[in-house]
Amino acid sequence: MNANTSLSQSPRLLDQVRGKIRLKHYSIRTEQAYVDWIKRFVLHFDKRHPAEMGAREVEAFLTHLAVEGRVSASTQNQAKSALLFLYREVLEQELSWLENVTQAKAPKRLPVVLTREEAQAVLSRLTGTHWLVAGLLYGAGLRIMEALRLRVKDVEFGRGEILVREGKGFKDRVTMLPSALAEPLKLHLKQVRELHEQDVAEGYGEVYLPYALDRKYPNAGREWGWQYVFPSKNRSVDPRSGAVRRHHVQDQAIQRAIRQAVRDAGIVKPATPHTLRHSFATHLLTSGYDIRTVQELLGHKDVATTMIYTHVLNKGGRGVVSPLDR
């Protein structure tokens, strides 16, 4: 393939990228992001094929993002991950160490945390599914997608536990099921089961299964235990398989509801759904729970990540009393 090969003439490359991503069971969001970054990389170099380029072009592109694009450090890292995946997994080329990249600056910010009163004020302004999901973020420390991807079988009412499968880093973990959510969640699941039975009666009712389990267990997708705890109101077409299924609630709907609740509560902090998870960790630490316990509940690989929440243990100004207050 010569240097003038256009992106439109090389769909096989993107198909190979998608194939490798699905083989490794990456999420569809990761697939969409990686494909988009690879397209941008190719277009940046006048549609040259990546096989004709290498570490020098990757370095130049990442530097361009930081210097001219002024992207955040996390965005630059995502682009870097996409390109490394392309070369290592698809083109089977090992790039030399990328040492000439101008790194985007990652600001060292403390997480936004709500007080207990503020968290309750936000929750009190939510209803239905929005309230249940937000309750799991604050009451169990779940990430928003961990809550939305919960399956019925992963909620253990008898033990008061929630099994989070394939959290960040593809790790499973166990966290608590807040007792305040147990009965409302049971009532919610009763309605979800009625909806599922209606879907089955109409010839649907099959849910997405990971790791090609639908081929190994053809009927599992219709079983009650595999259904999403928070299903969407409408059925939709699976973009990968083309099957008509009922997916889980979209995270954008939860984000909008929580942002509105924050505004209605008169809270001026830039709070998001993830702020509720930050508040979960912070409030556990201020209640005296061991940091290792909090680390396990959050699913952090390194305790250093959890240590960021210990800033709240030192009262403002590192515990120093202001001379004005004396």
Q: Where are the domains of the chain?
A: 7-90, 116-312
Confidence of residue 209 (pLDDT cuts 50, 70, 90): confident
Centroid of chain to Cα 3:
38
Asked whether the predicted pLDDT for residue 50 surpasses 50, the reply is yes
The active-site residue out of 168, 173, 188, 222 is 168
Which of these is catalytic: 34, 87, 138, 309?
Answer: 309
Residue 90 pLDDT grade (very low, low, confident, very high; cuts 50, 70, 90) = very high
CA distance 322 to 293: 33
Residue with tokens 């409030």: 283
Backbone Cα Rg of the chain: 23
Cβ count near 58 (within 10 Å)? 23
Lowest mean per-residue pLDDT among 137-151, 202-216, 230-244:
202-216
Q: What is the pLDDT of residue 95?
A: 83
| Cα–Cα distance list, 61 to 52, 179, 312 (Å) | 15, 50, 40
Q: Is residue 4's pLDDT more than 70?
A: no
Say yes or no to pLDDT of 75 above 80.
yes
Structure tokens at 305: 């990540």
Name residues whose C-beta falls within 8 Å of residue 16's C-beta, 6 or more positions apart in sequence.
90
189-200: average pLDDT: 96
Query: Is 44 tagged catalytic?
Result: no
- In CATH, the number for domain 7-90 is 1.10.150.130
Catalytic-residue membership of 263: no
- The residue among 118 and 286 whose pLDDT is bigger is 118
Report the pLDDT value the prediction gives residue 309, as an integer from 0 to 100: 86
* Rounded-to-integer distance, Cα 261 and Cα 264, Å: 5
Burial level of 102, CB count in 10 A (0-12/13-18/19+)?
Answer: middle
Q: What kind of fold does domain 116-312 have according to CATH?
A: hpI Integrase; Chain A (1.10.443)
Average model confidence (pLDDT) across the chain: 88
List 248, 277, 278, 283, catalytic entry: 277
Average pLDDT estimate for 264-274: 96
Active-site residue among 143, 149, 246, 248? Answer: 143
Q: What percent of the chain has pLDDT over 70?
A: 90
Query: Is residue 94 scored above 80 in pLDDT?
Result: yes
State the average pLDDT over residues 36-42. Answer: 95
**Residue 168 designated active-site:** yes
Among 113-117, 204-208, 313-317, the least confident range: 313-317
Residue 17: C-alpha distances to residues 87, 144, 255, 287 (Å)? 10, 27, 30, 47
Q: Which residues, 6+ apart, have CB-to-CB distance to 209 below 8 Å? A: 217, 220, 221, 226
Segment 218-252, tens digit of pLDDT: 788 899 999 999 999 999 998 877 889 999 999 99
pLDDT at 214: 65
Asked about 143 being catalytic, the answer comes back as yes
For residues 238 and 181, the model is more confident at 181
pLDDT at position 321 is: 65
The predicted pLDDT at position 62 comes to 94
